[in-house]
Amino acid sequence: MDGDLDGFVSRICSELSNSRNPSIKVIVSPLALLLRTEKSRLVFGAHGGVGFLTKLLKLQVPSLPPSLPLSLPTSCS
């Protein structure tokens, strides 16, 4: 079973490593389910998945203009 998990996570990380990959949208749902278990999160991290996911998220969020604050106020007065 561990070999199956390792192979599956390896494949997901391989797909995530190419940010221009059109199948990334298909990978998101299985990845969300996979990351619900601690063991899967550890395997995902061991394969460098966090770095791939971080890079992908940075590409999806447009940069803020310099005049905008990096954080929002915590209270709504």
Cβ(30)–Cβ(12) below 8 Å: yes
Cβ(6)–Cβ(43) below 8 Å: yes
- What was the pLDDT predicted at 57? 82
Q: Is the pLDDT at 68 greater than 60, yes or no?
A: no
Cα–Cα distance between 74 and 71 in angstroms, integer? 9
Cα–Cα distance between 38 and 51 in angstroms, integer? 18
Cα–Cα distance between 40 and 58 in angstroms, integer? 23
Residue 12 belongs to domain spanning = 2-59
Whether this prediction's pTM lies above 0.85 is answered by: no
Q: Is the pLDDT at 46 greater than 90, yes or no?
A: yes
Residue 50 placed within a domain: yes
Residue 16 placed within a domain: yes
Residue 45 placed within a domain: yes
Residue 18 placed within a domain: yes
What does the block give as tokens for 28? 């998101």
Residue 47 placed within a domain: yes
- What was the pLDDT predicted at 50? 93
Residue 43 placed within a domain: yes
What domain count does the chain have? 1
